[in-house]
Structure 1
């Protein structure tokens, strides 16, 4: 039984029965000062490599939100997100690692004020590349990953009782009333509840990564394989919510305009293939794809609603995003 507090080095040494543990380098600090992600050099017979990653979350040391949204609501959302991530790695991640690559979780430790998540070093595992933007062809491995991940969890029940978010993504309406209130009055603001309802009541639900931006994927040297990290907002939803957010995170407007249709059809085809490979019928796979195809613009508009409330001058508020959102609103008016 581990005591309530211990240093990172002691936690790693005990978790891996390591002979030595040395802090190497900080990979990044966490948003709003909640902690840090650090690489440690480790000598341990239980470890195939020589380094690990420790995500340390200090729930008692929080600085101001970078965009001025610090509040008790946002703080509680963050606390929940880190506990969800710890629960995902400790209790769910083994269900997907053979289908969609994620870091091996070696150990998790939680107290009221501290969380340690000890993970495989994806650089050492053969995924050393990170990107902020992609050419359209480079999106295909991530769409493969998403299709495999979403197919694995079709029909899953996601509730606080099983430790995940009842609704995946960090921007869904129930967690963002302040950002909704800050929106300029208009059709999108008026339609926010209906958009949210359409997504939450879709027939086919799965687990969403919830923050599937390109920065949360690690690429192999050749770029043909990927692994995903950062599962703070994993929960129930419609697969195209992850897809819309991912494509918007890495492609410029010209690439989206020219290649979006192909990329979506690629995802749907891979999703159908994965569902059938996992034992679902071809008819069900087709029905999932038909429904999710019809919801892509709605999913895009849902994130655009968040952006317009959270930071309307953000670079993601593009003409392309406005166009897709307008399509979604037209669809609502006609239904």
Structure 2
């Protein structure tokens, strides 16, 4: 654990670069496994002559990973966290300032990044709670107005970055944690985000996937059975390959035309809303990277939407569910907004195929890690998808291209 004095020294150091003086520091949250703290800090101008001046509120995110005596390559989970905090800082300091005010996100006032070996990082950011006073709850459901606002935020975020990611230097984007370490022998991320946004994709979840394939789960056979036409690869592996952005940006892959920047960990816990719920701001950009926007939507729909908004009750069978009225309504809202912001075309039929592939990939993670959220809806939808010969033909055709 880090002492209060240590945290306040870091806060004071960062504030001083903006001619601000620390007057109060309160820990809001300790990060998992002792990796750091999130604190609310109060500051006034250093040269303020009026002692009664009302202080301004900011957020300090201070990361100082625990020391490890492990010899050899670091554990994947530990390395993932270290890299993710560095990537989050890159996002806030380099990418977020490029975005318009319509995309609710905190601004970074000052930051430090120790690349000498401690992997310590710290950022002082604007306090989103000032404009968005309602915090999303852990594994909580959003109301309908908040869902509309979250869908609009994602469409605006994805639409803004759609096309711009083609200019990213992919040689500097971060590969899966162990692959990154094997290539660089370093626990330091280059200047960039994840090549593959999110933390659930198959390349970084191989152990869990092997456990799924060896289990008696319902999802073992449909996801893990080898396909003769693809050298023994499985549906899960074809889906993962389809969704993976190419390391060589000069090549054309099945999703290259539609790639954007995704948040990577979309859930109610990672957003604030206005009192009316008509606007949201997202935070926690540790897993921001390239991908399809539908992968963000898959987690949002499963983990944060009330099930009744997806029109689950409209189906007579709970085992197999086709797209319901509620699901389609939210998807069309997202797609209309995405087209408007980006000025690009995304055909509905193609979008739906991408959405279905995103759902299958998200279910693969949940089936191997543990289900939560709208499990009935997610499993019912994926049963419908994997049993659809036209969907399977599309996936196989695109995988051969």
In 1, Cα distance between equivalents of 2:46 and 2:8: 22
Closer, same or farther: CA 220–252 of 1 in aligned 2, 3 Å: closer
After TM superposition, the structure 1 = structure 2 runs for residues 43-82 of structure 1, keeping only pairs within 5 Å, are 43-44=44-45, 50-60=56-66, 72-82=75-85
CA RMSD of aligned residues (A): 2.4
Q: Which one of the candidate residues 373, 376, 386 is aligned to 1:316?
A: 373
In 1, Cα distance between equivalents of 2:365 and 2:292: 17
1:188 aligns with 2:220: no
Tell me what 2:364 maps to.
305
In 1, Cα distance between equivalents of 2:153 and 2:365: 25
Tell me what 1:42 maps to.
43
Number of aligned positions between the proteins: 311
**3-state SS of the aligned residue for 1:55?**
strand
TM-superposed deviation, 1:290: 4.4
Q: Contact (CA 8 Å) 2:145, 2:277: kept in 1 or not?
A: no
TM-superposed deviation, 1:61: 5.0
In 2, Cα distance between equivalents of 1:90 and 1:58: 19
In 1, Cα distance between equivalents of 2:352 and 2:392: 18
In 1, Cα distance between equivalents of 2:97 and 2:193: 15
1:121 aligns with 2:121: no
Tell me what 1:65 maps to.
none
Q: Contact (CA 8 Å) 2:11, 2:124: kept in 1 or not?
A: no
Tell me what 1:110 maps to.
113
TM-superposed deviation, 1:20: 3.3
Closer, same or farther: CA 15–333 of 1 in aligned 2, 3 Å: same
1:153 aligns with 2:197: no
Of stretches 183-192 and 166-175 in structure 1, the one that deviates more from structure 2 is 183-192
Q: Normalized against structure 1, the TM-score is what?
A: 0.86
Q: Contact (CA 8 Å) 2:87, 2:288: kept in 1 or not?
A: yes
TM-superposed deviation, 1:303: 1.2
1:30 aligns with 2:31: yes
Of stretches 113-122 and 71-80 in structure 1, the one that deviates more from structure 2 is 71-80
In 2, Cα distance between equivalents of 1:100 and 1:321: 28
Q: Which runs of 5+ in 2 are unaligned?
A: 1-6, 49-53, 69-73, 173-190, 225-233, 245-253, 313-325, 395-401
After superposing on structure 2, the runs of 4+ consecutive aligned residues of structure 1 that deviate more than 6 Å are 45-49
**3-state SS of the aligned residue for 2:85?**
helix
> Which structure: larger Rg?
2
Q: Contact (CA 8 Å) 1:56, 1:115: kept in 2 or not?
A: yes
Q: Which runs of 5+ in 1 are unaligned?
A: 63-70, 277-283
Tell me what 2:335 maps to.
268
**3-state SS of the aligned residue for 2:110?**
strand
In 2, Cα distance between equivalents of 1:310 and 1:174: 14
1:329 aligns with 2:386: yes
TM-superposed deviation, 1:16: 2.3
Q: Which one of the candidate residues 10, 28, 31 is aligned to 1:8?
A: 10
In 2, Cα distance between equivalents of 1:121 and 1:181: 42
Closer, same or farther: CA 325–45 of 1 in aligned 2, 3 Å: farther
In 2, Cα distance between equivalents of 1:58 and 1:32: 11
**3-state SS of the aligned residue for 2:37?**
strand
The one-character-per-residue Cα deviations of 1:308-328 (angstroms, maximum 9, x if unpaired) are 1112xx323712111122233
TM-superposed deviation, 1:144: 1.0
